Structure 1
């Protein structure tokens, strides 16, 4: 009875139950789990790409959904052009009769030759956007070649990068500091041009040292760290000219101090200042001038607003306490930033010395960038993953997949990128009185596209609500109830996922994954160390429980549910899903050692029949679609 986009009406009935089907479900499930747990395949080398064909392969690996494709085309697709008036050919203009010469149009009269629609679509240039890229050197020539190839891939898709190069091996204050930084910048420019890109070195300072004047007088508190540098629109002239010419600007980490001296600063300060300055400059560009039909930015064809922040370093992403040091997959900076600091193992500082500083940089930059923007921390070994991030704006591996699948996934390596989103605060509400009923009603009706039967729904929530996980200001919610089993069954109440909803405007921005991870931590993942996320709930303390839910058989979201559930059972027009308590599975696996789990454990006998009997009787929360038909 749930969906993030499609309604799933629930009418009380009891479909027939088939024991043979449940046995098959258990066999398939445990065969899958055993194969995952006993799989010891070594991860394949990550993206060793030698030729142009890898650009196509990288596009195929991204595997974008229809929503990803629409979002990409909305950002990079050609903008609709106003219709051009047709100019009739005067009768006195002679028409060529030379069969060997094709007419090419008359520029004087404004007549254009007809072009094949396919050719026109290929020749029509994409609308170009920008990305901010921090290169954390040193890199050898082979590594730099791999990075440059990734930048060329992005340029082909319409994303022009603004690079800031930092070399940790150049000692601060050394006599040859400036020349060494210039040499590193030129080395990056040379690597880009060898891969076919056009690059422009910007060896002077573009940003100014210190906070922006209005920052010192603003009384408003901020949840992010202000940049230690700033820039004004007029300072971006070199970057603007390079982008307008189709060139990739490559900058050194320099700034002007109060005495107009050029000094070396932390590259993070330069990147943060550019993120803010480019957003402000783009806003200025897009402000229409009185008397003009179009804003100035539309004439350049390049939007200065950074669409992506990319941090490319040898160390890759941020280590995760939940994956024994392997990278975080998706980070909600609003709710997880402080907790990642608290759980960062000091032993990781040697291999990941810049991880926390880069995490801080991402939070600052994304605070200024549009909500749809994201940041990615990636290793130099994986240039094609930049394409996947650009097209889908999703992590390489979904963080909401079952832990067993994540543990056995060959894509999860030390070089797996970390995707960072500004995200939303996530909290757990335990009582109906704490809920904002009008906002929750709006969320459910917009997500399911049905009208809520409020009296019946709120009466049911008052009687059986367990908790509600709320994302942001009701941008998403997961409603969990406790369903009482029939008397005599002797079973504990069923933990039932009654609704899982996300506003259409937030589908595709990570809210769905953030909600499901929190749901995991409060139900079937409870009791495990990696379930202690700071979402205001139980924070990992307690015993996990099975999570059960149902969905219409024709719900397109079911594919997403299949990937995240332990098992499912088809019952007529419905599909019953469940996730087993992970603590119990680990306990049983340890008890049986290497023998693994059997197809049907003693504690599982009869539970599918019980779940089916209880869940299928839960009444619908929606008003009938056709009231007249129902009344008649």
Structure 2
């Protein structure tokens, strides 16, 4: 027989042994557990994914735009018959009257779980054309693949075309090297939890599409040297419908039906045209797994990053208006960039070709493999990482602006400047102003005043946006004030880059004059001259004021109005150099009394609207 103390001692020893084994097992499991960025299955964790979404910091308009493209499609519910109108006799044998089983009402029906609901009502999946321009190391490839998985979670499925700058063209081992590179990308995607399918057959055909031979002479871009037929897209559509990411080798069929290696840009251009034409036919509404083939984005992922800018000491362009800036970017591309960014201009041409076929709301992004997380921000906001319309001083000191900052490219609109009211199409301008402000314009009084005070007008496209600047004077002897009388963009073009394109042109013609970034050819001064302070007013409850606060040098309250201004950047730079380290903390002679003068002049400007 054992005493109570012996039993207690034995029990404690067993518990201590179990506790020690449990502690040791816990430490061992912690040492052998996967890194915190992955879960038990080895797939990417949701933490980085959620943080990437939060860093995008989308506005309400950005969120609405994203949901408009990816929101679940509505389900047409069948008409429900009231339960008391239908009765089903029971088949149970009984001498009594047959029982009647009532059909449950809609409220009584069990609700499906969120997982089942997401399966029955999936988000609309859209496609992105992706040029993966290597070579990349395994670590870099894993990072890019993780970005592709994140985009797929948000509803954007990548159609990837492989390119490797180190593979010699026409070499004996070119095809085997391309196949090997394709399989590397497939393996990297599957390692991150995605399902990928290699497409090792020719996805396009060399030469123009039958019937399109004469379009190249009339177009303002270089058409691709390949095309697709609907049957060529079957492997891509099949992969997308099966929930797989197609990874395409840059191969094409020649006139002898031989599969030959071609430039990836030709494959991407042909796919942009073919997928857009096929997507325009319409997605079958009765097939939940169907994917809209129309490309929503073009993504060029490389080792160079964005296109270097002449105005930012080689740092990338932030937002490119291909319609009006394409030629000028070519003209200002420095010779040394041919070595540091050898494919920037060819990728610029690729973006213009693809966006010419894709919907007007589509955009292209040129991004370094180091900035793959910025793809999420671009998808949700469809905006550059840093707004190009911010004051130059803010852009220079912005931490987000690095050599690896992505370049966003849009098809854009032509921008031109006119100096007289006779050059303005008054009917179109009236429609623009009334639709933008939601008020009725007093046309006779408005244009009569412009005849005497107009400085210049910037017009975007066919009057989808305009900025009207006037010269106002306190007296006949005083210096004129540059006053932004109207800044308007059609509601249908708000959020597509037109606002930024228009404000950049406004900067070039007023407070940005004399700065290298203002030398854009738009029919105006092309950066020549002295910068002038720009003044404007906005109602205190205008929701656009947040945007104005970010772009102005200062503001002051005027009752129900807020007066904004932008200081001439060239003068600010000279003044800052003169004061040295003391900064701009005191009021100079050129600033004395200007606020009261501006307030007096602006308060006397008559309203342009009918009461």
Task: Give the TM interval when normalised to the shorter protein.
Answer: 0.7 to 0.9
Structure 1 residues 179, 445: closer, same or farther in 2, change over 3 A?
A: same
| 184, 188, 193: which one aligns with 1:187 | 184
Q: 1:117: how far off?
A: 9.0
Corresponding position: 1:342 with 2:327: no
Q: Could you tell me which residue of structure 1 aligns to residue 74 of structure 2?
A: 80
Q: 1:349: how far off?
A: 1.4
Q: 1:344: how far off?
A: 0.6
Corresponding position: 1:232 with 2:219: no
Q: Could you tell me which residue of structure 1 aligns to residue 437 of structure 2?
A: 448
- Length-normalised TM-score, structure 2: 0.88
Structure 1 residues 189, 448: closer, same or farther in 2, change over 3 A?
A: same
| Distance across 2 between alignment mates of 1:447 and 1:116 | 44
Q: Could you tell me which residue of structure 2 aligns to residue 359 of structure 1?
A: 348
Q: Could you tell me which residue of structure 2 aligns to residue 620 of structure 1?
A: 607
Pairing of 1:151-550 with structure 2 (within 5 A):
151-218=148-215, 221-285=218-282, 295=284, 300-487=289-476, 490-550=477-537
What do residues 526-583 of structure 1 show as CA deviations (whole Å, max 9, x unaligned)?
0111110111100001111000000000000000000000000011101000000011
Structure 1 residues 94, 439: closer, same or farther in 2, change over 3 A?
A: farther
Q: Give secondary structure in 1 for the equivalent of 2:371.
A: coil
Q: CA RMSD in A?
A: 2.3
| Distance across 2 between alignment mates of 1:485 and 1:323 | 37
Larger radius of gyration: 2
Q: Could you tell me which residue of structure 2 aligns to residue 584 of structure 1?
A: 571
| Distance across 2 between alignment mates of 1:453 and 1:62 | 41
Structure 1 unaligned residues grouped into runs of 5+: 1-47, 96-104, 287-294, 625-632
Q: Could you tell me which residue of structure 2 aligns to residue 32 of structure 1?
A: none
Q: 1:120: how far off?
A: 7.3
User: Does the aligned pair in 1 maintain the 2:216–2:223 contact within 8 Å?
Assistant: no
- Length-normalised TM-score, structure 1: 0.85
Q: Give secondary structure in 1 for the equivalent of 2:340.
A: coil
Q: Give secondary structure in 2 for the equivalent of 1:321.
A: coil
| Distance across 2 between alignment mates of 1:196 and 1:246 | 12
Q: 1:125: how far off?
A: 1.6
User: Does the aligned pair in 1 maintain the 2:122–2:288 contact within 8 Å?
Assistant: no
| 138, 141, 145: which one aligns with 2:138 | 141
Q: Could you tell me which residue of structure 1 aligns to residue 128 of structure 2?
A: 131
Higher relative contact order structure (alpha carbons within 8 Å, sequence separation ≥ 6): 1
| Distance across 1 between alignment mates of 2:427 and 2:198 | 55
Structure 2 unaligned residues grouped into runs of 5+: 1-36, 39-43, 93-101
What do residues 579-612 of structure 1 show as CA deviations (whole Å, max 9, x unaligned)?
0001111111122233322321111000000000
Aligned residues: 557
What do residues 226-282 of structure 1 show as CA deviations (whole Å, max 9, x unaligned)?
101111111100000000001000001111111111111100000000000101111
What do residues 4-60 of structure 1 show as CA deviations (whole Å, max 9, x unaligned)?
xxxxxxxxxxxxxxxxxxxxxxxxxxxxxxxxxxxxxxxxxxxx9984311000110
Structure 1 residues 116, 549: closer, same or farther in 2, change over 3 A?
A: farther
Structure 1 residues 119, 383: closer, same or farther in 2, change over 3 A?
A: same
